[in-house]
Structure 1
């Protein structure tokens, strides 16, 4: 169960990361549209796990690999945006949120 503080930090990080990905997608991430679906923060606020939805869904592994390589740059951008609100910027981990693909697959199975 997440505390109120964790929930507030999660929402703040999700909003700011989404803005960073929206602004930088063309130059940093091969023109893919990347949306941040969920951010979960550990109880000590030291680690944030961000789940990303990447469109179009071809080459998702390569895009995720590129995001992980550019993690320090993304964390720096995030730190400049939320540095006044959070004392310590959490380490970032990125994962692919494939729930939409799963839902689409279930929908296709139910139609046939």
Structure 2
């Protein structure tokens, strides 16, 4: 498998999962803004790790939204199977991505250092 094929598949799955979450999931627990930061599909196309960043009012809202995403993973997999023509439809595994919050924390620390 050429090395660029994996990147194309990752990007296509990311776009489709983002569209499915935005337009097709009707779970009332999904109230926070969800952003797909990265997707990593294994070479055998069996699993896809979807890294999500959730922006909510508080920690409880973020946890409820993440739980709603995890519970809808089979629906997302079915939709991916209809939208993308792959040999196997990957099993969707949602993972939290806290890199944005971590970056904001580091930025705040650097600002503190600048003030001193």
Return the TM-score normalized by structure 2.
0.82
Counterpart of 2:86 in 1: which secondary structure?
coil
Equivalent residue, structure 1, for 2:107: 107
**CA shift digits 1:9-59 (9 cap, x unpaired):** 10110010111111146x324322211110011121111100001122633
Matches within 5 A, 1:70-109: 70-82=72-84, 85-109=85-109
Q: Deviations over 1:65-112 (max 9, x none)?
A: 221111111111222211xx2121101110111100000000111111
Tell me the distance in 2 between the aligned counterparts of 1:30 and 1:15: 19
Q: Which has the larger radius of gyration?
A: 2
Distance 1:103 1:24 in 2: 31
Distance 2:79 2:16 in 1: 9
Q: Which consecutive unaligned segments of at least 5 residues does structure 1 have?
A: none
Under a length normalisation based on structure 1, what TM-score does the superposition of the two structures give?
0.85
**Which residue pairs with 1:20 in the alignment?**
20
> Which region of structure 1 is more displaced relative to structure 2, 98-107 or 28-37?
28-37
Q: Distance in 2 between matches of 1:80 and 1:70?
A: 16
- Report the number of matched residues: 108
Unaligned runs of 5+ in 2: none
